[in-house]
Amino acid sequence: MTFHHETLPNGLQVILERNERARSVAAGFFVRTGSRDEPPELAGVSHFLEHMVFKGTPRRDALAVNRDFDRIGARHNAQTSEEDTIYHVSCLPEYLPAALDVLADILRPRLDAEDFETEKQVIIEEIKMYDDNPMMVAYEAAKAAHFSGHPLGGSVLGTEETISALTVEQMRDYFTRHYGPPNVVLAVAGNAEWGLVLDLASRLCGSWTGSGVPRALPAHRGVGQPRAVLREEDHQETIVAVADAPGLESPDRHAASLVATMIGDHTGSRLYWELIDPGLADGADLSFQDYQSAGAFYTFLSCDPPSAQANLDRIAEVYRDFSDDGPTDDELERAKNKVLSRLVLRGERPMGRLMPLGSDWTYRRAHIPVEKEIAAYSAVTLDDARRVLEAYPLLPMTVVAVGPNVEVRPPV
Amino acid sequence: MTAELFQHQFPNGLVLLAEPMPDVQSAAFSFLIPAGAAFEPADRPGAAAMVGEWIIRGAGDRDSRSLLSVLDELGVAHSEGAQTVHTSVSAAALGKNLLPALGIFADVVRRPTLDEQEVEPIRALCLQSLRSLEDDPGSKALTELRRRHFADPWGRSAIGTVEGVTAATPDDLRAHFRRAYRPDGAILGVAGAFDWKAVKDEVARLFGDWEPGAPTEIVERPSGPSRSHIEQETQQTQIALAFPTVPVSHPDYYRARAAAAILGGYTSARLFTEVREKRGLCYSVFASYEAFRDRAAVVCYAGTAPDRAQQTLDVTLEEIRRLVSGGVNQEELDMMRAGLKSALIMQQESSMSRSGSLASDWYHLGRVRPLDEVAAALDALTPEEVGDFASGFDLDAMTILTLGPEPLQLG
């Protein structure tokens, strides 16, 4: 395993984690832009733009983009979050030049006005699809309530209103500002040679122009107003609750992640034994998400609507017990073993390595091989876990309830 | 690209398949036991899933908590549960922890505690899962489509029904366990970093004295109806349809796979191109190939706003008819082939997915296909063969199900 990096003259960062024994290679453009970078009237533009990137370039129409990936059997996709828009592909090593030829080409899209109107309908369908999913409705509403007034409170998909009102000129402006090469990392993982990667990057991306763009990075502390979203037809009540957590700059992110695993992993955690094992709920977990300058512990609960309050109170009781008595040695060891094994399994595939690789370089300008990440998790102590919870208590939480029961209150 | 394969069938019927992967540290296994929903009593839908949940709640000399604790200590990522045909237990860990993990799961499938106090919590959990399915229109539509398209019990979803889960007694569940958890018909696929002799000896020690039983006879019953609408106040209308094709063991299998992929298996496939890219009618649309040992179907799905659902269905049906009457071209065939071949090679990077494929191959074929054989069969396909095969699709046997605020005109 070797690591290489280079900054092209136009500012594009190019990195490779080479694994000669891999059977495939994965590559991705990590564009540092997402919903947190959008003014409210442009809510959803980053995600809509991600769709438009696949709609063609001066050299290829949308059908040719899909066809040129499919011809080489490449698996490609893209994702937009609060902070990043990532375009990725995985393929057999001999097809890397062909795959990057398409992937780099589409990162300079034509953003055609007619395509824009057609794709607008697809985005609205995607919004409707998520409207039929109570967990997504609750998650979006909880993020908005918790991060109210903070850039992380915006919706990734936007709303039918903001998407309908968006113009292609606004999207073109947004593209020009946010897709400049200093704002982009090209990461490659797996079976590829550095000389080839660098040559392809220079040839395919060397002519890109544009500058970097600053991002507002306010911290976030506190809880937001509770909210209930009535959905009478739902069979289950879905609750998402949020509390602040360390941000991605923090050395405590490994400890925070282990705290979430001990308390709220989908199996064998404290929430599992308290709620899932006795059949009180069909979903109860805690996860840790780090962002730039902020972080969040997300609590998810799905259960019978009449028992929602009692179950939420049980969760609060679990959190209080954990904070008061702290985790046990055994509990911490088990959580570490679980996380380490997942890291190894995921790291065995180039596609599994690509995501942490690109993200570490985007935000830390660091290469963190799997072994180093394992060492960081292994070094977490009980005191580290306690310190995280003192600095970032799990209670109180911003609580959003979705379903027939609108009487759910934040636990006291 | 074919890897070495070890296989052994024990006298009690258990089949062990193992493929070493030189470049990984992990090892995974996939254990298929023919104890799925197809083998549960017809008046107890959901019983197989309840048993699947029961066996993990204490086994051998470990109670429920120490069972999950020891798996966590060993860093074993695992999932278990009933499906239509099998109850599946799969696990992955560092290679050195493979044998201990197998030992734990030998207790789980052979010596579960089956503590009666666990049944009510399991029932409550299964009822909650059924309610959550009601809140997930896409999954509900596909579940209800399979129920109507395949003859019972092949159309059953392991999730069962409220009536079945409510009625199942501890005795019903124990009876299912005794009848269905057997070595004959069970398949254990192992892939990753392991020593074959050590694995074989340990599996012999753990499962060699497992007594075979009498096979459960399956009585097939017709299902249907072929056209139905489920009224539900949703933002999107769900469209799901299925028509029969040939199973994996059939000489035309690769033609069937190719036809399904060309219809809707990749991003430039026909459904994605015509429904989403050209017309912007929906976000999610696909066609996939689904098979049991002796029957299979092409399943298509789309979700779209109610006012555009009719057009989405019409375009989808039109594309299926065009496949039947108009054949396929060389370029489509090449793309299908490139996609399936890449997937085969990339599968060899994941011990978890490779172990699953070994077990699945044995279920469908009674052998593991060498990857070179699959690649050669894909290479040999011609557009004429695939087109001829597609022209034989029996669209009169199509099942269509819609779910949403308004019914559609079903062609």
A-chain residues within 8 Å CB-CB of B74? Answer: 337
Compute the distance between CA of residue A22 and CA of residue A191 in angstroms, rounded to an integer. Answer: 5
Would you call B132 and A283 a contact, using CB atoms and an 8 Å cutoff? Answer: yes
Would you call A23 and B348 a contact, using CB atoms and an 8 Å cutoff? Answer: yes
- Of all residues in chain B, the one with the smallest CA distance to A337 is B75
Q: Is B74 on the interface with A (CB under 8 A)?
A: yes
- Of all residues in chain A, the one with the smallest CA distance to B331 is A71
Instruction: State if pTM tops 0.90.
Output: yes
Structure tokens of A31? 């564009």
Would you call B131 and A304 a contact, using CB atoms and an 8 Å cutoff? Answer: yes
Scanning B162-201 for CB atoms below 8 A from A yields none
> What is the count of residue pairs from A and B with beta carbons less than 8 Å apart?
185
The predicted pLDDT at position A31 comes to 98
Q: Which residues contact A28 (CB under 8 A, 6 or more apart)?
A: A86, A87, A88, A89, A186, A187, A188, A354, A355, A358
Edge-to-edge strand list for the sheet holding A294-303: A227-230, A398-403, A237-245, A294-303, A283-291
Compute the distance between CA of residue B9 and CA of residue B31 in angstroms, rounded to an integer. Answer: 14
A-chain residues within 8 Å CB-CB of B348? Answer: 23
Q: Among B135, B165, B345, B347, which would you mutate to test the A interface (most chain A Cβ atoms within 10 Å of its Cβ)?
A: B135
- Of all residues in chain B, the one with the smallest CA distance to A56 is B277
Beta bridge pairs of residue A294? A291
User: What's at A149, amino acid-wise?
Assistant: G
- Of all residues in chain A, the one with the smallest CA distance to B404 is A132
Angstroms from B65 CA to nearest CA on chain A: 8
Angstroms from A290 CA to nearest CA on chain B: 24
Angstroms from A220 CA to nearest CA on chain B: 33
- The phi, psi pair for A274, rounded to 5°, reads -80, -35
Nearest beta carbon to residue B94 from set A131, A280, A341: A341
Would you kindly state where each structural domain of chain A is located, as residue ranges?
Answer: 2-205, 227-403
- Of all residues in chain A, the one with the smallest CA distance to B92 is A345
CATH C-level class of A2-205? alpha beta
Nearest beta carbon to residue A129 from set B23, B122, B236: B236
Would you call A277 and B346 a contact, using CB atoms and an 8 Å cutoff? Answer: no
The predicted pLDDT at position B2 comes to 65
Q: How many CA atoms lie within 13 A of B239 on its CB side?
A: 30
- Of all residues in chain A, the one with the smallest CA distance to B303 is A129
Scanning A44-63 for CB atoms below 8 A from B yields 62-63
Would you call B132 and A236 a contact, using CB atoms and an 8 Å cutoff? Answer: yes
Compute the distance between CA of residue A372 and CA of residue A407 in angstroms, rounded to an integer. Answer: 47
Q: Among B76, B130, B342, which would you mutate to test the A interface (most chain A Cβ atoms within 10 Å of its Cβ)?
A: B342
CATH C-level class of B6-207? alpha beta
Nearest beta carbon to residue B341 from set A73, A76, A341: A73
Low-confidence ranges of chain B (pLDDT < 50): none
Compute the distance between CA of residue B111 and CA of residue B67 in angstroms, rounded to an integer. Answer: 12
Would you call A66 and B346 a contact, using CB atoms and an 8 Å cutoff? Answer: no
Q: Is A364 on the interface with B (CB under 8 A)?
A: no
The predicted pLDDT at position A326 comes to 82
The predicted pLDDT at position B411 comes to 66
Would you call B280 and A122 a contact, using CB atoms and an 8 Å cutoff? Answer: yes
Please name the CATH architecture into which domain A227-403 falls. 2-Layer Sandwich (3.30)
Low-confidence ranges of chain A (pLDDT < 50): none
Would you call A341 and B76 a contact, using CB atoms and an 8 Å cutoff? Answer: yes
Would you call B346 and A23 a contact, using CB atoms and an 8 Å cutoff? Answer: yes
Would you call B342 and A134 a contact, using CB atoms and an 8 Å cutoff? Answer: no
Would you call B266 and A70 a contact, using CB atoms and an 8 Å cutoff? Answer: yes
**Domain limits, CATH 3.30.830.10, in chain B:** 6-207, 227-404
Q: Among A23, A24, A129, which would you mutate to test the B interface (most chain B Cβ atoms within 10 Å of its Cβ)?
A: A129
Angstroms from A299 CA to nearest CA on chain B: 18
Compute the distance between CA of residue A267 and CA of residue A285 in angstroms, rounded to an integer. Answer: 9
Q: Among A337, A377, A378, which would you mutate to test the B interface (most chain B Cβ atoms within 10 Å of its Cβ)?
A: A337
Would you call A24 and B349 a contact, using CB atoms and an 8 Å cutoff? Answer: yes
Compute the distance between CA of residue A156 and CA of residue A358 in angstroms, rounded to an integer. Answer: 20
Would you list the DSSP string of B232-284? ---SSEEEEEEEEE--TTSTTHHHHHHHHHHHHTSTTSHHIIIIIIIT---SE
Q: Is A232 on the interface with B (CB under 8 A)?
A: no
The predicted pLDDT at position A89 comes to 98
Would you call B277 and A337 a contact, using CB atoms and an 8 Å cutoff? Answer: no
Q: Among B98, B233, B267, which would you mutate to test the A interface (most chain A Cβ atoms within 10 Å of its Cβ)?
A: B267
Q: Is B346 on the interface with A (CB under 8 A)?
A: yes
Compute the distance between CA of residue A278 and CA of residue B373 in angstroms, rounded to an integer. Answer: 49
Would you call B236 and A337 a contact, using CB atoms and an 8 Å cutoff? Answer: no
Do the strands A85-91 and A75-80 form a parallel or antiparallel pair, or are they unpaired? antiparallel
B-chain residues within 8 Å CB-CB of A71? Answer: 331, 334-335, 338
Beta bridge pairs of residue A303? A237
Compute the distance between CA of residue A328 and CA of residue B379 in angstroms, rounded to an integer. Answer: 57
The predicted pLDDT at position A60 comes to 96
The predicted pLDDT at position A1 comes to 87
Nearest beta carbon to residue B125 from set A24, A71, A282: A282
The predicted pLDDT at position A32 comes to 98
Q: How many CA atoms lie within 13 A of A141 on its CB side?
A: 24
Which helix H or strand E contains A363, and what residues bound it? helix A350-364
Nearest beta carbon to residue A279 from set B122, B234, B305: B122
Nearest beta carbon to residue B338 from set A70, A124, A280: A70
Q: Is B230 on the interface with A (CB under 8 A)?
A: no
What letter would DSSP give residue B309? H
Nearest beta carbon to residue B335 from set A70, A125, A134: A70
Pick among 1.10.20.10, 3.20.20.30, 2.60.120.960, 3.30.830.10: CATH of B227-404: 3.30.830.10
Compute the distance between CA of residue B176 and CA of residue B75 in angstroms, rounded to an integer. Answer: 31
Scanning A70-89 for CB atoms below 8 A from B yields 70-76
